[in-house]
Amino acid sequence: MTVTESPLESLVQAAVEASPRRRWLRQRAGLAIKVLSVLAFLALWTASTELGWVSPIFLPSPAAIARQADKLMHAGDLWEAIIASSRRVFLGYAIAAAVAVPLGIVMGVWWPAKAVMDPFISLLRPLPSITWIPLSILWLGIGEGQKTMIVFMGTWIYILLYTVESTKRVDPLLIRAARNLGASDLAIMREVILPGALPGIISGLKVTLAISWSCVISAEMVAAQTGLGALIWFAKDWGNLALVLVGMAGISLTVLVADAVAERIEWVLLPWERHRRGAT
Name the amino acid, one letter, at 107: M
User: Model confidence over 68-96: pLDDT tens digits?
Assistant: 999 999 998 999 999 999 999 999 999 99
CATH superfamily of 62-278: MetI-like (1.10.3720.10)
Percentage of the chain with pLDDT > 70? 89
Domain boundaries, the chain: 1-59, 62-278
Tens digit of pLDDT for each residue in 161-183?
999 999 999 988 998 999 888 88
Q: Distance between CA atoms of 187 and 104, rounded to whole angstroms?
A: 18
What is the arithmetic mean of pLDDT over 34-48?
92
**What is the tens place of the pLDDT at every residue in 95-114?**
999 999 999 999 999 999 99
- Residue 65 has a pLDDT of 93
- pLDDT-derived band at 200 (thresholds 50, 70, 90) equals very high
Render pLDDT for 208-248 as a digit per residue (tens, 0 to 9): 999 999 999 999 998 889 999 999 999 998 889 999 999 99
CA-wise closest residue to 73 among 222, 253, 259, 261: 253
Tell me the pTM: 0.82
Could you tell me the pLDDT band of residue 1, with boundaries at 50, 70 and 90?
Answer: very low
Phi, psi of 59 (to 5 degrees): -150, 100
C-alpha dist (Å) from residue 63 to 42, 66, 68, 69, 86: 10, 5, 9, 10, 27
pLDDT for res 12: 53
DSSP-H helix ranges across 169-225: 172-180, 185-188, 194-222
The CA–CA distances, whole Å, from 70 to 49, 60, 65, 75, 247 equal 20, 15, 9, 9, 12
Say if CB 93 and CB 155 are below 8 A apart: yes
pLDDT-derived band at 273 (thresholds 50, 70, 90) equals: low
239: left (phi over 0), alpha (psi -120 to 50) or beta: left
Work out the average pLDDT over 144-170: 95
Distance of CA 60 to the CA centre of its chain: 29
